[in-house]
């Protein structure tokens, strides 16, 4: 596996452009080609899966809350923005990997920003699901619940 010793931008919460270039160097030509291939095969499907799960779960749980203001349903869009950041991260990191050893000014700074945004949005989406689940359970078991 090309990422065994240096990690991958996709799995890193935060990294610098320098880290990205070190990853590209350590992957070698075949590793960089594999990285790009992976981003445009299975990594096209995975964001769809987690986005579908998080958006549907958020919506379903919100609809379990009686009297919920429909404006709260906007929370189901949080994972969609995570997915968009994920795809943009994949594109920017792939451009940088494809161009290596040439430098990719700008793109090398955007990839870490999109990685960080992806993880913050995905973690936030899971936090929203957990929080709403706790509220739904609390209201279900609470003796003074209103339905």
Q: What is the pLDDT of residues 32-49, one digit of tens each?
A: 999 999 999 989 999 999
Residue ranges of domains in the chain = 28-134
DSSP-assigned states of every residue in the chain: -TTTTT--GGG-SS--HHHHHHHHHHHHHHHHHHHHHHHTTHHHHHHHHHHHHHHHHHHHHHHTSTT--GGGGGGGGHHHHHHHHHHHHHHHHHHHHHHTTS--TTHHHHHHHHHHHHHHHHHHHHHHHHHHHHHHHHHHH-TT---
Q: What is the pTM of this model?
A: 0.90
Question: If you average pLDDT over residues 108-127, what whole number do you get?
Answer: 97
Q: Which pLDDT belongs to residue 6?
A: 83
- HSE, CB side, 13 Å, CA atoms: give it for residue 89: 28
Q: Which pLDDT belongs to residue 144?
A: 67
Q: Count CB-CB contacts under 10 A for residue 9.
A: 24
> How confident is residue 110, by pLDDT bands cut at 50, 70 and 90?
very high
Q: Count CB-CB contacts under 10 A for residue 13.
A: 11
């Amino acid at each position: 596996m090309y990422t065994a010793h240096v990690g991958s931008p996709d799995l890193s919460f935060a990294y610098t452009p320098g880290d990205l270039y070190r990853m590209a160097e350590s992957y070698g030509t075949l590793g960089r080609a594999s990285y790009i291939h992976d981003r445009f095969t299975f990594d096209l499907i995975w964001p769809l899966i987690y986005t579908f799960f998080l958006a549907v779960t958020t919506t379903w749980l919100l609809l379990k809350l009686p009297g919920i203001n429909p404006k709260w349903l906007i929370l189901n869009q949080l994972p969609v923005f995570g997915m968009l950041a994920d795809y943009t991260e994949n594109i920017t990191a792939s451009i940088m990997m494809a161009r290596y050893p040439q430098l990719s000014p700008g793109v090398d700074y955007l990839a870490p920003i999109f990685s960080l945004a992806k993880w913050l949005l995905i973690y936030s989406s899971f936090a929203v699901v957990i929080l709403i689940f706790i509220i739904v359970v609390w209201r279900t078991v609470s003796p003074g619940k209103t339905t």
